[in-house]
C-alpha cells in the first residue's frame, strides 16, 4: 500500500493525491548502491511493516515526477509512506 499519495501507473511514479491510501501492483524492491545522481527525481519514503507504522523496515527511493517541484516537507506532512501489510488485504 501507498499511504498519503497515489501511484500513477501510466507514468510509473508517485504523485500527491487526496486519497488516503492506494493499493500498489505487485512490486519488486531491489537493493542498489545509492549515488546523488540516482536520487534526483526520487523521493525517500519510509517502508513500514504494517499500517500501525511501529516497525520501520527500510527507507526506499521511489520515482516521483514532481519530487523537485513539491517541497520536501509537504510529503512528510502528508505522511506519505509505503506499507508492506494492511488489514484490508
Give the domains, in start order, of the chain with CATH numbers: 2-27+35-85 (3.10.490.20)
More reliable by pLDDT, 62 or 46? 46
pLDDT band at 34; cut points 50, 70, 90? low
Cα–Cα dist 30/36, whole Å:
17
Q: CB-based contacts of 21: which residues, under 8 Å, 6+ apart?
A: 1, 2, 3, 4, 83, 86
Residue 88 has pLDDT above 70, yes or no: no
What one-character DSSP code corresponds to residue 72?
H
More reliable by pLDDT, 26 or 22? 22
Q: According to the model, what pLDDT value does residue 81 have? A: 93
Residue 73 has pLDDT above 90, yes or no: no
Element of type H or E holding 66: none
The answer to whether the predicted template modeling score (pTM) of the entire model surpasses 0.75 is: yes
DSSP reduced 3-state for 73: helix
Amino acid at each position: 500500500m501507498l499511504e498519503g499519495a497515489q501511484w500513477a501507473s501510466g507514468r510509473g511514479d508517485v504523485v500527491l493525491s487526496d486519497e488516503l491510501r492506494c493499493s500498489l501492483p505487485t512490486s519488486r524492491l531491489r537493493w542498489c548502491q545509492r549515488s546523488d545522481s540516482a536520487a534526483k527525481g526520487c523521493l525517500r519514503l519510509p517502508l513500514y511493516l504494517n499500517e500501525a507504522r511501529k516497525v520501520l523496515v527500510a527507507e526506499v527511493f521511489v520515482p516521483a515526477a514532481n519530487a523537485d517541484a513539491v517541497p520536501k516537507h509537504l510529503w512528510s506532512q502528508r505522511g506519505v509512506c509505503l506499507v508492506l501489510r494492511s488489514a484490508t488485504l
